[in-house]
Amino acid sequence: MARTINSGRTRDGWLFVAPAFVLLAVFLAFPVLMALWVSVSDWRGVGSPFSGDVGFVGAENYSNILTGGSLQQRDFGTAMRNNVYYVLFVVPIQTALALALAVLVHHRALKGRGFFRTAFYFPSVTSAVAITVLWLFLFNSSGAVNAALGWVGIDGPNWFGDARGIFHTALGAVGVDAPAALTEHRMLGISWWEWLAGPSFAMSAFILLAVFTTSGTFMLLFIAALNNIGEEVDEAGMVDGAGAWQRFWHLTLPMLRPTVFTVLTLGLIGTWQVFDQIYTGTQGGPAKTTLTPAYLSFQASFNSQRWGEGAAIAFILFAIIVLLTLFQRWALREKS
């Protein structure tokens, strides 16, 4: 008897998870496997990738992107450079800002906390496309940002039209010009000097955009975590004679470690996949300085009919994100 009941339970269990399982398989696992197959095939975007006349080409699509000094490799190198700077700037800034905002609006002494929480969170709920369009206006060469810079005597750049890297511009201002040692050697098809360009002014505007829109979301996570830390911890610190800064640095922050990990991970994933702002805003320009691997993947597939390379870029991006997340987990581990 008991066995019958149990086996019935198992069957029912399977029955209940089946819909979710089928949905996941059809809309998640299958497309991922399909993309994986496309990345090692010579499929040209006509008919099914599983039809008989699509051949296996091994790692050819990957090697086209990663080696050989071809235009594809240079484009990928440029996209990687752009995105590395995007990640390097956005992730730390948005995390720090989110934490700072959370601490501020968490403070009980603050009047109208609800108002500030809503205000800071607001950019996060606005559509990315709408905000991007707003940004294009704000950062126009004769837009509000440059007008504001004009008040303090700064002649602002033509943001979304300016392809100069900010590091190059800064170095140029102090008289440093491309040293031969850096221009001669290349990685992923572009020279070391190009790698050191820094984000272009156009990309810098996107960096500010990302910080502006995502800090609010992460602020919520930090507020939730702060609420979980009992007041007695803070009070105990006070009794021990710790100042406000010491209490934050030695008590609050260590207790926020899991949240910091979450925020960094989410930030890392989001920034490596930046696509919609680029698609609506600049389509990779000026001078390819806002090209990102995600956008390049789209472009290679849909506009150039090089589906294999497009899929390969997606998987390289996937590998990068996984590796970085693992690294981050290791770096933020409990060191006791």
Partner 1 sequence: MKTTHRAVPGIALALATSLALAACGGGSGFEDSGDSGDSSSEGGGALKVLIGSSGDAETKAVQDAVAAWSEESGTEASVQAATDLPQELSQGFTSNNPPDVFYVSTDTLAGFAANGSLLAYGDQLSNADDFYPTLVDAFTVDDQFYCAPKDFSTLGLVINTRLWKEAGLTDADVPTTWDELETVAGTLTRGDVVGLTFGPEYQRVGSFFPQAGGAMVSEDGTEATVDSPANLEALEFVQGMMRDGVAAYSSDLGAGWGGEAFGKELAAMTIEGNWIAGAMENDFPKVDYTVAELPEGPAGKGTLAFTNCWGIAEQSDNQEDAISLVEALTSADQQLAFADAFGVIPSVQSAAQEYADGRPTFQPFVDGAEYAQNPPSQEGAADVISDFNAQLEGLQDGDPEAILQSVQQSMQAVVGQ
Please give the residue ranges that form the binding site for partner 1 (CB under 8 A): 26-28, 30-32, 34-35, 38, 44-48, 70-72, 74-75, 140-142, 158, 161, 163, 265, 269, 273, 275, 284-288, 294, 297-298, 301-305, 310-311, 314-315, 317-318, 321-322, 325
Judged by CB, which is closer to partner 1: 158, or 251? 158
Q: Which of 78, 41, 37 is nearest to 56 (CA)?
A: 41
For the bound state, the minimum distance from the C-beta of residue 291 to partner 1, rounded and expressed in Å, comes to 9
DSSP-derived secondary structure letter, 43: -
Give me the least distance between CB of 46 and partner 1, in Å please: 5
| Of residues 72, 13, 52, the one with CA closest to residue 312 | 72
Whole-number Cα distances in Å, 70 to 66, 140, 163, 290, 306:
9, 34, 22, 20, 14
Q: How far is the CB of 237 from partner 1 (least distance, A)?
A: 35
Q: Which two tokens stand for residue 12?
A: 């029912």
Please spell the DSSP secondary structure of 245-268, one letter per residue: HHHIIIIIHHHTHHHHHHHHHHHH
At 186, is the secondary structure helix, strand, or coil?
Answer: strand
Residue whose CB is less far from partner 1, 117 or 194: 194
Min separation Cβ 218 and partner 1, Å: 16
**What is the nearest approach in angstroms of partner 1 to the Cβ of residue 236?**
36
Q: Which is nearer to partner 1, 120 or 159 (CB)?
A: 159
Cα torsion through 184, 186, 191, 195, rounded to 10: -140
Nearest CB to partner 1, comparing residues 252 and 301: 301
Nearer to partner 1, 39 or 252 (CB): 39
